[in-house]
Amino acid sequence: MARPDVTVMGAGILGLSAAWACAVRGARLRIVEARYPGAGASGGTVGALAPHVPDPWNPKKALQLRSLLMAEAFWAEIAELSGQDPGYARTGRLQPLADAAALARARDRQMAAARHWGAAAVWRVAPAAEFGAWAPDSPSGYVIHDTLTARIAPRRAVAALAAALAARGVVIEPGTAPPDADGPVIWATGVAGLAALPAAPGRPAGQAVKGQSALLRHDARDLPQIGAEGLHVVPHGDGTVAVGSTSENAFEDAAATDALLEDRIAAARALCPALADAPVIARWAGLRPRARSRAPMLGPWPGRPGHHVLNGGFKIGFGLAPVLGEMAADIVLDGAEAPDWMRVEASL
């Protein structure tokens, strides 16, 4: 076998997206995965591709907007080549407003969205009654409705992206270390990758944050997702609704679900009465990589020439994957540099 131009370590959403961007540009590739595609945080169930509030504006939010607007064409191409449905749909989101102060802030942000999002999407204040039985419980009687938010089915999306790469002749090999190769190496290995980065005592590059989520059987496939106080309620195209997730910095069993998830499910039923009797059909728990800077990490691995880091997606990895994959390809194929706020040194 000829040596690949690029080796990607890790077949989660960020590693696969970087591999895809390199493959589209004609690079020869090898992907090395310790377990199986989507084995870590990318194997969850929620799939909320949701923007941060549009005010105050910053480079991270601008990058997120760019990626969310790329997503429809990105996933359509993956679906066509793979013959598999990644579950993408831009169905929007509803967020309840608790009181008059929240309502005033939302109206200010409505103007900020118009400035920063332009004609690409809308952030508006609307009567909750406009959304009928699916409307979340909202003390003010109003909700934020944005049309930028989309959904993805994480496991199906990973499978479709792996299949699209296979259609281009890219093989995913088992392993934990890059084979001997002259080309660049992209490390997209999630929690394990964060732990392997050099760090000063007491200042790790990041940490594992446990998340728990569930799938309920309820067909709301064409309706917007609902978000409130860290809770996501995401209707998927297969007649399920995802609920999640917890964010646990301390935990004993990374793979176990427990009462914290049951509390999230109860909160979702209270927020969205249409889910009151929806049965739980699956539960998930796993670890997500959060960089110390809380921004995605992209750039050279300090002290390892030719090695690059792509990590720290945490809760927004799927939303940023299209643009982060392109940026990683820019770096390893064209010698570009990531913005300072994303560089690995920012988290060390």
51-80: pLDDT as tens digits: 999 999 999 999 999 999 999 999 999 999
pLDDT in tens, 282-296: 999 999 999 998 899
Q: DSSP letter at 30?
A: E
Residues 6+ positions from 259 with CB-CB distance below 8 Å: none
In this prediction, what percent of the chain has a pLDDT beyond 70? 98
* Least confident span in 94-98, 251-255, 322-326, 341-345: 341-345
pLDDT reading at 42 higher than 80:
yes
pLDDT in tens, 113-137: 999 999 999 999 999 999 999 999 9
**Nearest C-alpha neighbor of 97 from the set 276, 275, 227, 242:** 227
What pLDDT does 1 receive?
Answer: 45
Give the mean model confidence (pLDDT) for residues 7-31.
Answer: 97
pLDDT reading at 202 higher than 80:
no
Q: What is the dihedral of CA 255, 257, 263, 269, to 10 degrees?
A: 100
Confidence of residue 3 (pLDDT cuts 50, 70, 90): low
pLDDT reading at 321 higher than 50:
yes
Compute the distance between CA of residue 255 and CA of residue 258 in angstroms, rounded to an integer: 10
Question: CB–CB of 61/113 below 8 Å?
Answer: no
**Angle subtended at Cα 136 by Cα 216 and Cα 264, rounded to the nearest 5 degrees:** 45
What pLDDT does 345 receive?
Answer: 82
What pLDDT does 346 receive?
Answer: 79
The pair of structure tokens assigned to 306 is 């030719």
Q: What is the mean pLDDT of the chain?
A: 95
What pairs with residue 318 in β-bridges? none
pLDDT in tens, 184-199: 999 999 999 999 998 7
Domain 6-87+152-202+293-347 CATH superfamily: FAD/NAD(P)-binding domain (3.50.50.60)
pLDDT reading at 300 higher than 70:
yes
Give the mean model confidence (pLDDT) for residues 237-243.
Answer: 98
What pLDDT does 143 receive?
Answer: 98
* Least confident span in 22-31, 56-65, 66-75, 201-210: 201-210
Q: Where are the domains of the chain?
A: 6-87+152-202+293-347
Neighbours of 70 (CB within 10 A): 16
What pLDDT does 108 receive?
Answer: 94
Distance of CA 153 to the CA centre of its chain: 11
Question: CB–CB of 265/213 below 8 Å?
Answer: no
What pLDDT does 66 receive?
Answer: 97
